[in-house]
Amino acid sequence: MDSNKNYSLLGLCMRAGKLKSGEFAVLEAIRAHKAELVIVSEDASDNTRKQFNDKCKYYNVPIVFFGTKEELGHAIGKDVRTSLAITDKGFAQSLRKNLQLPPDDTDGNDLHSANRNTEEM
């Protein structure tokens, strides 16, 4: 997996206006059924991880743990960000493909961690 490609895709998604960032905006997107994929940083607190996991499970939104707060924020041109919501189905599918996740798993019940330190082939 090429994490630079994932960060570039997040930046493109932000510029296209198809990304919500920050706890409040992401939770609103989940509740409004606009979130296609939720990304939470790997270094998020246990409370934050549980909060987003529970919301995503309840609203049937896939969730992935990827990157650090600083990396996610830098990718979208903002300060540190713990959570992001992708609101476009195409961008969400591309990210899922790049993170090597099943493309049609939308039950929100399985937690996925995209380990950035995995060796590439």
Instruction: Please state, rounded to an integer, the average pLDDT across all residues of the chain.
Output: 86
86/108: higher pLDDT: 86
59 close to 33: Cβ distance less than 8 angstroms: yes
13/118: higher pLDDT: 13
Pairing of strands 83-86, 37-40: antiparallel
Whether the pLDDT of residue 112 is over 90: the answer is no
Virtual CA dihedral for 28, 40, 120, 109, nearest 10 degrees?
-80
- Quick: pLDDT tens for 72-89: 999 999 999 999 999 999
| CA 9/CA 98 separation, integer angstroms | 10
- Quick: pLDDT tens for 26-40: 999 999 999 999 999
